[in-house]
Amino acid sequence: MAKIDQDFIQSNFPSLKTGTAFFDNAGGSQVAVPVADRITQYLLGANVQLGASYDASQKAGAAVAEGRTALALLMNADRPEEVMMGATATQLFDQLARGLVQGWQPGDEVIVTNFDHEANIGPWRKLEAQGIVIREWQMPKGADTPDLEDLRALMNDKTRLVAVTHVSNIFGSIMPIRQIADAVHEAGALICVDGVAFAPHRAVDVKALGADFYGFSVYKVYGPHHAALYGRYDLLRDHTRNINHYFYGEDKVPNKLEPGNPNYELAYGCVGVVDYLEAFAKAHGVNESGRPAIEAAFNIFADHEEVLSERLLTYLKSRDDVTIIGTPSAAKVDRVPTVAFIVNGQSSEALVRKVDPAGIGIRFGDFHSKRLVNSMELSSGDGVIRVSAVHYNTVAEIDRLIEQLESLRR
């Protein structure tokens, strides 16, 4: 197991030197230096409108295209046209839903879950107004992964799409997307996966997952405040309708689903995420580029993250007044280091506020997975406490947090 090179990390994330222990990464990560460099290059190079014939405009177009290509590489898509870009994952799911529904009939069905972030529920539920029947795949009480048989029972020949998360941003547990996708495809439907809580931790591979659509927020993957949504090319071309200007043809993939222009400098900034992962791999002895480097980097992240999860979960399990919300397993195959818990009968907000002065960034609430958190009727009364680590966090930071939690013990 390669040990994380802390000097490399510190030089790539200057904000870590502020002394804050950033444990709200599932909300948004710190930005790697190569990302900021690319954004600066774009803005201070030649900040022009795309699509004109003069040289600077052509170069700007190439830079934005490079960003889309980087996002395709990050998801292992076949071609950049399979990547929609936008401000947030929520917006992109919404655009996709609007593009797909025009090809569906009233009475067609969509299955959403009660354990997703609202980003991959709300846009689909809104289609009810257009006659689409919405069904809900529920997390069984007390479980941290859903039951595939429950999904099978919900699907029928009217099911058009199943929207499901890859990782719950509360539970941290990794869902068996390949198995789910196979079941969905057997039923003749499509699957739209929310990868927002997965993408900061493991290499996304839309082909290996069998995902038809897969979205994530680049701002949680060490990048700019930008988002990407993969759609298989033939599906985007033939099964979605243009939601952009009326004169965009149905073959204009993916722009027909991207009303307006994407943000140019942030699109180009996404190239910096690949730069960072490649540099990380190199600093850890992997002399490759592209997918092999990306996969190697994420494998090293996973090993380190498992150590962080183990440390925190071991502490939480040692307390008889704490309930872990999600899987108690620290194993990297089971979870990412997004750990939620409550201190039984105590306000989550009060505890988090007492930790704040120690310069530790954790938070409380439902994290927009409101349906899931409401379904649990927690004794805290105000949601869970969530500690979400990534590869740049250290065991020493986890220990600082444990020390704080211990000092607040009643």
Ligand X SMILES: Cc1ncc(COP(=O)(O)O)c(C=O)c1O
Judged by the rule CB under 6 A, the positions of this chain that interact with ligand X are 26-27, 88-90, 117, 119, 165, 169, 194, 196-197, 217, 227
State the DSSP string of 207-227.
HHHT-SEEEEEGGGTTS-S-E
CB-wise, 346 or 393, nearer to ligand X? 393
Q: Are 45 and 58 in contact (CB under 8 A)?
A: no
Q: Are 121 and 89 in contact (CB under 8 A)?
A: no
CB-wise, 197 or 401, nearer to ligand X? 197
Q: Residue 130 Cβ, how far from ligand X at the closest point, in Å?
A: 22
Rounded Cα distance between 406 and 95, Å, is 46
Q: Residue 214 Cβ, how far from ligand X at the closest point, in Å?
A: 12
Cα–Cα separations (whole angstroms), residue 252 to 85, 164, 255, 391:
14, 27, 6, 38
Helix/strand/coil for 330: coil
Q: Residue 370 Cβ, how far from ligand X at the closest point, in Å?
A: 12
Which of 237-240's residues contact partners 24+ apart within 8 Å by CB, and which partners?
A: 239/100, 239/103, 239/190, 240/96, 240/99, 240/100, 240/102, 240/103
Rounded Cα distance between 367 and 172, Å, is 12
Helix/strand/coil for 375: helix
Strand ranges in 232-337 using DSSP code E only, listed in sequence order: 322-325
CB-wise, 260 or 292, nearer to ligand X? 260
CB-wise, 175 or 355, nearer to ligand X? 175
Q: Residue 198 Cβ, how far from ligand X at the closest point, in Å?
A: 8
- Tell me which residue has tokens 């409101």: 370
Rounded Cα distance between 120 and 201, Å, is 20
Cα–Cα separations (whole angstroms), residue 328 to 113, 171, 347:
22, 9, 21
CB-wise, 27 or 45, nearer to ligand X? 27
Rounded Cα distance between 329 and 250, Å, is 46
CB-wise, 194 or 295, nearer to ligand X? 194
Element (H, E) at 267: helix 264-269
Q: Residue 3 Cβ, how far from ligand X at the closest point, in Å?
A: 29
CB-wise, 112 or 279, nearer to ligand X? 112
Q: Residue 116 Cβ, how far from ligand X at the closest point, in Å?
A: 7
Q: Residue 220 Cβ, how far from ligand X at the closest point, in Å?
A: 7
Q: Residue 389 Cβ, how far from ligand X at the closest point, in Å?
A: 15
Helix residue ranges per DSSP H, 122-194: 122-125, 148-154, 177-186
Q: Residue 122 Cβ, how far from ligand X at the closest point, in Å?
A: 10
CB-wise, 217 or 309, nearer to ligand X? 217
CB-wise, 31 or 227, nearer to ligand X? 227
CA angle 129, 134, 139 (to 5 degrees): 145
Q: Residue 117 Cβ, how far from ligand X at the closest point, in Å?
A: 3
CB-wise, 101 or 340, nearer to ligand X? 340
Q: Residue 217 Cβ, how far from ligand X at the closest point, in Å?
A: 3
CB-wise, 9 or 339, nearer to ligand X? 339
Q: HEC profile for 87-139?
A: CCHHHHHHHHHHHHHCCCCCCCEEEEECCCCHHHCHHHHHHHHHCCEEEEECC
Rounded Cα distance between 378 and 211, Å, is 33
Helix axes 55-75, 290-318, angle to 10 degrees: 50
